């Protein structure tokens, strides 16, 4: 059995997928990009602003699911330029306090809507 999670506090899906799916005690959150959920506009004012909006979009979905960043067990970060890793990592680190999730960060040739960063997560869902 699975439960679909959707919220207005994160961008609406731009394809045939859900913002998140809860199943088997886990929450699978689709990759979030720096899209303003209220306007649908892409933020392009710099990688720090972009990463912050991605993390806030993830927060909106986690809140809707009734969990928080402490529940995250795995993240995947996609970057179009590995030179931005330190800036994204700094923003990312502000959302966690301890017991950090497992993670990988990969450079990709391109991301949806031409963005520079996308992050997906897996969390525990009691």
16-70: pLDDT as tens digits: 999 999 999 999 999 999 999 999 999 999 999 999 999 999 999 999 999 999 9
DSSP 68-100: -GGGEEEEEEEES-GGGHHHHHHHHHTT--SSP
Q: With beta carbons less than 8 A apart as the criterion, state whether 6 and 18 touch.
A: yes
Query: Shortest CA distance to 121 belongs to which of 58, 46, 66?
Result: 58
CA dist 32 and 125 (Å) reads 19
Please report the pLDDT score of residue 51 as a whole number: 98
Strands 2-5 and 20-23: antiparallel
- Report the SS3 class of residue 12: coil
Q: What is the pLDDT of residues 86-111, one digit of tens each?
A: 999 999 999 998 899 999 999 999 99
Q: Is the pLDDT of residue 126 over 90?
A: no
pTM of the prediction?
A: 0.97
CA dist 15 and 107 (Å) reads 22
């Amino acid at each position: 059995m699975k439960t679909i999670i959707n919220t207005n506090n994160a961008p609406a899906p731009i394809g045939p997928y859900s913002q998140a799916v809860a199943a088997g005690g886990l929450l699978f959150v689709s990759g979030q990009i720096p899209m303003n959920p209220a306007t649908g506009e892409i933020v392009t004012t710099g990688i720090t602003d972009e990463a912050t909006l991605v993390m806030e979009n993830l927060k909106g979905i986690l809140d809707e699911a009734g969990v928080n960043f402490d529940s995250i067990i795995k993240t995947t970060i996609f970057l179009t330029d590995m030179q931005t890793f330190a800036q994204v990592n700094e923003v990312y680190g502000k959302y966690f306090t301890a017991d950090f999730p497992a993670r990988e960060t990969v450079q990709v040739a391109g991301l949806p809507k031409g963005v520079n960063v996308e992050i997906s997560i897996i969390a525990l869902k009691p």
